[in-house]
Structure formats: C-alpha cells, structure tokens
Amino acid sequence: MKVLIVDDEEMIRAVLKEYIEFEGGEADEAQDGMEAVKKCRDNRYDVILMDVMMPKLDGFSAVKEIRKFSDTPVIMLSARGEEYDKLFGFEIGSDDYVTKPFSPKEVMARIHAVTKRAGGEKKERDVYEFEGLKIDKAGRNVYVDGERAELTPKEYELLFYFAENEGVALTRERLLNQVWGYDFYGDDRTVDTHVKMLRGNLKEYRKFIVTLRGLGYKFET
C-alpha cells in the first residue's frame, strides 16, 4: 500500500510515515500542495493524506487540482475550527477527514476504511505479472519465465517504475526525476544505457520496453 503524506510539519509526516511503514506500507512525503500535485502526476498512490493549511498551495486547492486527473482517495487532515466548517460546506472531493490533534491510530483506521472502500474488489497488488515476466516489488524479485533475473539496483527501480506506469509514455527527464531522484544532474543518455542493460536481462520480454523516438520510453504489454 502506497501513501502520500502531505503536510508542512515534518514531525507529523514522520509519525504517520512510521505507522504506515510499521504495517508494511510505503510512504512518500510532500511538504506542500504544489509538491503533492507534482508527485501525484508521476506516481500512483493508494491514498493521500492531505493537510489543509500549507504554504504555496493549500490542501483544498491541491485536491481540486489532483481531481482533474486522478481519483485517488484523499483524507484531509485539518485543525479544529475554521477549516472544520469548510469540510462540511465544500464539495472538495475528499473521501474522509481527521481533525488535529489526531492519534495516528485513528488515521490508520481511516486509511484502512478508505482503501477498502475504494479498492473494493482488488487485493493487495504487490506482484505484477506480464506474460512470463513476474515482478515482485516487496520481495525485490524479478522472474523471467520462472527464472530469477539478477538486476542491479537501478535496473530494479527502473523496471518497477515502468511496471507501475504501464502504457504511459515516459520521457528521459521524467525517468531521471522519478527513478534517479530530483538531484541527479547528469546526462540524459544514462537512461538509455540502463534501458539497454535492463532489456538484456528481460530476455524475450525486452519487447515490453518500447522506444518512443524523440520522447523516451514506454512499458507496454
């Protein structure tokens, strides 16, 4: 389960992250609405925890923005008082809300409720399977026709990101940002080198990684 925590207070983020990871989930953080929207464009989350009061872009506006392209469940974190009223009066497109101060346990309960409600039929999607290519994210395993593929860290992460964004055209820039990290200031072509190695390791399933000339790559089955 992947959760995006959006709050400007580091302490709150840290505590929530701790709880989520304790239950085996994965937590990503954003300091403000702007960052949240950006992260939502580039990643798939199961649920978003969104603070209301934040610099740059407040929680309400961020949700509105995210709703333009995603229906990921959102739980608002709001202080009691002024924002509290808005939560009732506004059509903000959030799925639930928790008022501060909250207990982490309460938040976890809401997360479970929302993800169950939204996911409905789906079970934990931890393993991707594309024909004879099996990608086990939690266990960090990749199998090609039942045989374990030995990938380097970058190759793993690259493949995971591809799998998570099946069918989406990805520019080299975006891949560098998401897989290498925002602080990578190297050559674009580094992606090509890793794609080459990855293709080699995927054997026949190299076909899934399609080159988009002038753009980048796409993982397609």
Partner DNA sequence: AACGTTTGTTTGGTATTTGTAAAAAATTTT
Partner DNA sequence: AAAATTTTTTACAAATACCAAACAAACGTT
Of 183-202, binders to a copy of itself (CB under 8 A) are none
Please identify which residue in 24, 55, 132, 200 interacts with a copy of itself, judged by CB under 8 A: 24
Number of residues that bind a copy of itself (CB under 8 A): 35
Q: Which residue has tokens 């054997």?
A: 203
Find, among 120, 121, 124, the residue nearest to 139 by Cα: 124
Please identify which residue in 61, 141, 190, 201 interacts with DNA, judged by CB under 7 A: 190
13, 5 Cβ separation under 8 angstroms: yes
CB of 163 to DNA, least distance (A): 17
Please identify which residue in 38, 67, 100, 154 interacts with DNA, judged by CB under 7 A: 154
Q: At CA 161, angle to CA 171 and CA 153, rounded to 5? A: 110
Closer of 11 and 89 to a copy of itself (Cβ) = 11
72, 66 Cβ separation under 8 angstroms: yes
CB of 79 to DNA, least distance (A): 12
- Residue 198 contacts by C-beta under 8 Å, 6 or more apart in sequence? 151, 155, 158, 159, 209
CB of 111 to DNA, least distance (A): 17
Quick check: bond before 153 cis, omega within 30? no
Please identify which residue in 22, 69, 90, 184 interacts with a copy of itself, judged by CB under 8 A: 22
How far apart, in whole angstroms, are the C-alpha atoms of residue 127 and residue 55? 37
Instruction: For residue 149, give Cα distances in angstroms to 128, 142, 210.
Output: 15, 6, 20
Please identify which residue in 128, 195, 202, 208 interacts with DNA, judged by CB under 7 A: 195
How far apart, in whole angstroms, are the C-alpha atoms of residue 186 and residue 183? 9
Locate 209 and state its tokens: 């990684």
Please identify which residue in 182, 185, 186, 189 interacts with a copy of itself, judged by CB under 8 A: 182
Q: Which stretch binds a copy of itself (CB under 8 A): 38-46, 51-59, 164-172, 197-205?
A: 164-172
Binding site for a copy of itself (CB under 8 A): 10-11, 14-15, 17-19, 21-22, 24, 101, 103-105, 138-140, 152-154, 156, 165, 167-169, 174, 177-178, 182, 212-215, 218, 220
